[in-house]
Amino acid sequence: MTSLPAPEDGVAPDDPLTTKEGWRRFVDYQPEPPNRLDPSDLLALTPRQRSAHEEARRDYHAELPLVNTPTIRQVLTTGRLLIQLNRRQISARRGMILSGASGTGKTTALTQLGRTHERAVRKRHPGQRHRLPVVYVTVPPAATARMLAVEFARFFGLELSSRANITDVVNAVCASAAHTGVELVLVDEIHNLNLATRTGVEVSDQLKYFAERLPVTFVYAGIEVEARGLFAGVRGRQIAGRFTLIGSTPFAYGTAEQRTAWKSLVSTLEAMLRLQQHEPGTLVALDEYLYRRTGGMIGSLSQLIRGAAILAIENGTEQISRDLLDVIPVDYAAERANVATQNAATRTRAGA
């Protein structure tokens, strides 16, 4: 899950990640977990202080810090390598595509790559706030080539006349990218690009044109792009020849090694909790239950644990139990996977 932090006044920001202001806020944000208070310290708080402390913990659990999953590690390693390889390339630069089912952490991995790279650039060039080393855009539904170019312009905050044609928009975007030192372009929701349609082909060509004009590394992310025809036809083969594909999949639970990896993930999330009465190891002991409830989806697991933590604060129990987890809703895909698993187990027992 990737979320945009609220400003200091607590008001939700108007600028999404697809604007330079929203992206900078995301890169700058370094949340600090609330302090753990002893029972005596809690009793010493005034009602107002206690309310503020609980609100801070609810906010903290609403967006638990990032868990460094295997997919994220692979994306970071591959992304950094491609950026290095592309720096001296004149054309035919290499890119990366992150593909998988919804809820497997694609956007989180994509934005973490961008955040990590931008922070590294800031260390190399301290004080140069004009730099925008990373651009983040999404492909709109039913996008046209002009709509995509406008998305790039919107990230930079360019004010263009409604009469500006696509050439004007593209030239303005390329000039801004050159002026601000862009090195990495992240394009999310790439599954909205359909190469079976004329407009989809035009959008693909527009992306390719940007890739030729800009000396940067392009990274795409989308839902099961292989099945959606991204690699079909002449244009698809060209994409396949230039982009490394990384699959974002649910965690598996079949082998001992896979179960250990899943338990490690649960343990990491549990260690981040800031609940007064929660017993460490409780969630790890429920690892099989958590897997059934979430289908191994990192997004579903995050939703389940974050929701339970917030409810534990609100109801005063300050701990997560199996009963509490049972009342936390998860997404439909995870619920469907859980029912399928239970049905399979029932058939197995009946056959025995």
Using alpha carbons, list the distances in angstroms from residue 268 to 86, 152, 174, 283, 318: 35, 36, 42, 10, 18
pLDDT at res. 175: 96
Residues of the chain with pLDDT under 50: 8-12
**For residues 76 and 186, what is the distance between their CA atoms, to the nearest angstrom?**
13
Cβ-based neighbours of 131, under 8 Å, separated by 6 or more: 121, 122, 125, 180, 181
Residue 331: the pLDDT is 82
Query: For domain 70-248, which CATH number applies: 2.60.40.10, 3.30.310.10, 3.40.190.10, 3.40.50.300?
Result: 3.40.50.300
Can you tell me the distance from the alpha carbon of 149 to that of 185, in angstroms, rounded to the nearest whole number?
13
Contacts (Cβ under 8 Å, ≥6 apart) of 176: 156, 158
The pLDDT assigned to 332 comes to 74
CB contact burial 127-141 (16+ within 10 A = b; e otherwise): eeeebbbbbbbbbee
Please, is 107 exposed, middle or buried when counting C-beta atoms within 10 Å of its C-beta (0-12, 13-18, 19+)? buried
Nearest to 135 by CA among 151, 146, 119: 151
Domain layout of the chain by residue ranges: 70-248, 253-342
pTM to 2 decimals? 0.88
> What pLDDT, on a 0 to 100 scale, did the predictor assign at position 12?
46
User: DSSP 3-state helix, strand, coil percentages of the chain (rounded to 5)?
Assistant: 55, 10, 35
Angle of the 198-213 helix axis to the 145-156 helix axis, nearest 10: 40
pLDDT at 340: 62
In the numeric block, the tokens 């044109």 are attached to 209
